[in-house]
Copies of this chain bind each other. A is one copy, B any other.
Amino acid sequence: MTAYVHATYEIETSLPLQQAAEILAGEQSTGTFVRVERETDDVRARFAAQVASLDELPLTGSAPLPGAVGDPALRRRARLVIRYPLDNFGPSIPNLLAAVAGNLFEIKELAAIRLVDLDLPAEFAVRYPGPRFGLSGTRLLMNAPSGVMLGTIIKPSIGLAPHELAEVVDELATAGIDFIKDDELQGNGPSSPLEERVRAVMPVLKRHADRTGKMPMYAFNITDDIDRLEANHDLVVAAGGTCVMACINMVGLSGLEYLARRAEVPIHGHRAMFGSIGRSDQVGIAFRAWQKLARLSGADHLHTNGISNKFYESDEQVLAAISDVREPLLGTIPTVPVLSSGQWAGLAHATHAATGTSDLLVLSGGGVHGHPDGPAGGVASMREAWASAERGETLDEAYASSSALRRAAERFGAYRGAHG
């Protein structure tokens, strides 16, 4: 039986919708601008992509993409599903992308063209086994068998000397945090080489592990050229580290997959630069489609943003993203959604209520480091607020019982979308 990939798009066009859909299907399979010799009916029957469904949508009022042709008065919007024979490209994510997300973004007859979902056949999970550690491996390594996983980002993002970094990590570990990560801006530059960070951080973590039986998971940012990824990973693992972070868009889905095949610890998948393909509603790739490829490529943790964040996404979009990451995918083990950006203790109840789960890694940067009582207060506020939410209490009840939360609210309570 032939397997197929179904790709869902939203388009706008001034052409009749069916015609535009067929142009898209043709451009991405057997077509060229003139029919050529050997493009037989048999070739078309076996290899042509087909329009599987087409449903008109209301126009959104967004401006047409630059270069779009056609009478603006005729413009209509539709959601369409194109069916691609898997045999055209095989279960290879790079070759899949050339078909479902290649030149089509440049088609001038399309005033909007956005890949919003992908339905992949099981062959992809055979070739790409997905996360190796996922939720259960992460909980095991951080000794956090239940409840939300609480983390933070090193702040300031860049500029700390190794001994200062060690101090910050010591404070956070003392406060009982589960997870710490490098900022995505903290690479492997001369001002703070990865090797020095590892040497500064790991003894601190081990000392706490000896004391408490629990070592916070530290995600060292190992993002770099492909030929350096493995060495960077090995450096972390050799020092006893339990997590590496990769900026997925910077190393590419292919770089992530390369790393995942070699990873002996979970990969914390950062989504920086996703906005360049994801933010417009007229062009690009929606998070729902993209996160499937990131999970198949091996992301154990995947950033989704959190509610009331400082970025462009609405709470509705964030909650959909969390739900997308938690949705089963071709038998792969669960990836951990990572909530970040503007997160602080006062958001625990709303987040827990809206997601209905504690299988989340919640990162609070400023909300931990900027707490009036310092990181210890910040971690306590997060821990107490989430414990209250998980017990089914109201936010008011949490405020009544947690002084750390009340202190957090003094600084962050009015915070709604301010920036920095």
* Selected interface stretch from A21-29, A205-213, A383-391: A21-29
Q: Is A159 an interface residue (CB 8 A)?
A: yes
- A273, CB-defined interface residue at 8 Å: yes
Q: In the complex, are the beta carbons of A33 and B107 less than 8 A apart?
A: no
Q: Which B residue sits closest to A275, measured CB to CB?
A: B105
Chain B residues near A39 (CB-CB < 8 A): 155-156, 159
Q: Which of B94, B247, B370 contacts A98 (CB 8 A)?
A: B247
A420 and B26 contact, Cβ closer than 8 Å, known pairs A225-B93, A273-B102, A285-B276: yes
Binding site secondary structure of chain A: loop
Judging by beta carbons under 8 Å apart, are A156 and B107 in contact?
Answer: no
Answer whether residue A59 sits at the interface, using C-beta atoms and an 8 A cutoff. Answer: no
Q: Would you call A407 an interface residue if the criterion is a C-beta within 8 Å of the partner chain's C-beta atoms?
A: no
Question: Is B419 in contact with A23, judged by CB distance below 8 angstroms?
Answer: yes
Contact: A366 with B36, CB < 8 Å? yes
Known: A34-B370, A102-B247, A258-B225. A311 touches B94 (CB 8 A): no
B254 near A65 with CB under 8 A, answer no
A261 CA / B226 CA spacing, docked (Å): 11
> Would you call A156 and B279 a contact (CB within 8 A)?
no
Alpha-carbon distance A23/B187, docked complex (angstroms): 21
Q: Which of A74-82, A328-336, A410-418 contacts B (4 or more CB under 8 A)?
A: A410-418
CB-CB under 8 A from A323, the residues of chain B are none
Count residues on chain A whose CB falls below 8 Å from chain B CBs: 112
Contacts of A33 in B (CB 8 A): 310, 342, 365-366, 370, 415, 418-420
Tell me, yes or no, whether A97 is within 8 Å of chain B by CB.
yes
Chain B neighbourhood of A38, CB < 8 A: 155-156, 160, 164, 168
> A79-115 CB contact bits vs B (8 Å, 1 = yes)?
0000000111110111101110111111111000100
Asked if residues B420 and A90 are in contact (CB atoms below 8 Å), the reply is no
CA A95 to CA B225, docked complex, whole Å: 9
Does residue A324 face the partner (Cβ distance < 8 Å to B)?
Answer: no
